[in-house]
Amino acid sequence: MKRSLGYIKAFVLVVIICLLYGFAEKRHKSRGISEVRVQFTDSENLYVTEEVVNKLLIQNKAAVSSIDKETLDLNRVESLLNQHQMIENAEVYLTLDGKLEAIVSQRKPIGRVVGNSSFYLDKNGEIMPLSQFYSARVPLMFGFDGSNVSKAYAIISHIKKDDFLNRHVTGINRLKGDKYTLELREQDFELYFGDSSNVALKFNNFKAFYKKAQKENKLETYKKVNLQFGDQVVCTKK
């Protein structure tokens, strides 16, 4: 009899524990979000602000405290963030203490088209709108539109990844036949690039030419520097 009573007590204790756990779990899920926190993955200037992300995080523009954890759809919130034109990727999760956190990676512009329509070209070669919060310091692109800007991606991308070119190249002009000239920060000679083939070779030749001519104080004597032949740099003096 005592043995049976012990089993009954143990069973009742398990039931009570399960009920308490279920009750605590339900209370936990029904609590509102205590805080929303946004973390950007880099320290660059923001093309989309924390305030904008906060508004996207809160479904139907409701107050944070009115959203309970059980009805919050994290996948939907993530999808809303990832649809934003300035965001490359977002991860959203809930912490144990009731905070809604978002880790946001911004899209990164590498060139800015200037003309009838103005927009950025991002690091993935896709069109990115201008931001109302910050203007990126990237090479300006003239003579481009949405139909042809991707053809210059190899050139702009190479410039962005090279410290020397990043310091010296300020713009790119599109000519007929998808040929290009580049604008330099400190020099007034025309830098003719030609088409977008052999990008690395052309730029390596240019850097070697520039450093040699700079050392010999000859940079200001040139009217045009032509890189289109790939294997050599052809210069025209003033």
Amino acid (one-letter) located at 2: K
Higher-confidence residue: 223 or 53?
223
Classify residue 81: in a domain, yes or no: yes
Sheet containing 87-94: which strands, arranged edge to edge? 35-40, 99-106, 87-94
* Residue 65 lies in domain: 32-106
**Are 60 and 123 found together in one domain?**
no
Query: Which of 80, 106, 132 represents a domain boundary (last residue)?
Result: 106
From 106, 126, 151, the end of a domain falls on 106
| 52, 83: one domain | yes
Q: Which of 38, 68, 69 lies closest to 54, judged by CA?
A: 38
Contact 187, 202 (CB under 8 A): no
Instruction: Please indicate, yes or no, whether residues 231 and 120 belong to a single structural domain of this protein.
Output: yes
pLDDT at 237 over 80: yes
Helix/strand/coil for 197 = coil
Calculate mean pLDDT across residues 46-62: 71
CATH number of the CATH domain containing 138: 3.40.50
Residue 104 tokens read as 């946001």
Q: Choose the weakest-confidence range: 7-11, 85-89, 159-163, 216-220.
A: 7-11
Do 45 and 114 belong together in one domain? no
Same domain, 219 and 153: yes
Residue 40 falls within a domain, yes or no?
A: yes
Residue 169 lies in a domain: yes
Looking at the structure, do residues 56 and 126 belong to the same domain, yes or no?
Answer: no
Whether the per-residue pLDDT at 67 is higher than 80: the answer is no
Structural domain ending residue among the three candidates 54, 84, 106: 106
Question: What is the mean pLDDT of the segment spanning 162-166?
Answer: 96
Asked if residue 18 has pLDDT above 60, the reply is no
The better pLDDT of the pair 26, 122 is held by 122
Query: Is 9 part of a structural domain of the chain?
Result: no
How many domains does the chain contain in total?
2
Considering the domain architecture, whether residues 183 and 127 belong to the same structural domain is answered as yes
In this predicted model, what pLDDT tens digit does every residue of 105-163 receive, in sequence order? 999 999 999 988 899 999 999 999 999 989 999 999 999 999 999 999 999 999 999 99
Instruction: Please tell me the distance from the alpha carbon of residue 92 to that of residue 35, in angstroms, as a whole number.
Output: 13
Residue 8 resides in a domain: no
The CATH number that applies at residue 91 is 3.10.20.310
231 and 115 fall within a common domain: yes
CA 114 – CA 121 distance, rounded (Å): 11
- Are both 75 and 141 inside the same structural domain? no
Using CA atoms, how far apart are residues 38 and 47, in angstroms rounded to an integer?
14
pLDDT confidence of residue 171: 97
Distance, C-alpha 118 to centroid of its chain: 18
pTM, whole model, 2 decimals? Answer: 0.77
Residue 93 inside a domain? The answer is yes
- Calculate mean pLDDT across residues 63-67: 43
Domain assignment present for 3: no
Q: Do residues 228 and 162 both lie within one domain?
A: yes
